Amino acid sequence: MLDHIFLSVSDIERSIRFYEATLAPLGISARLDYNGKDGPPGHPDLKGFGANGRMFFWLREGVVEGKTVHVGFVANSKAEVEAAYAKAIDNGAIDNGAPGARLHYDPNYYAANVLDPDSYSIEFVYKNWQHPQ
Q: Phi and psi dihedrals of 98, rounded to 5? A: -60, 160
The answer to whether residues 114 and 100 touch, using CB atoms and an 8 Å cutoff, is: no
Q: What does the alpha-carbon distance between residue 15 and residue 71 come to, in Å, rounded to a whole number?
A: 15
What's the Cα-to-Cα distance from 47 to each of 50, 70, 86, 125, rounded to whole Å? 10, 19, 23, 23
Handedness of CA 87, 91, 93, 95 (dihedral sign): positive
pLDDT at 133: 63
- Go through the domains of the chain in sequence order and give each one's CATH number: 5-130 (3.10.180.10)
pLDDT at 65: 86
Burial 42-77 (b: 16+ CB within 10 A, else e): eebbbbbbbeeeebebbbbbeebeeeebeeebbbee
pLDDT at 123: 97
Which amino acid is present at 116?
Answer: D
- Average pLDDT per consecutive 10 residues, the chain (133 residues; last block may be shorter): 89 98 97 94 96 96 88 96 98 98 94 97 94 70
Q: Is 19 exposed, middle or buried (0-12, 13-18, 19+ CB in 10 A)?
A: buried
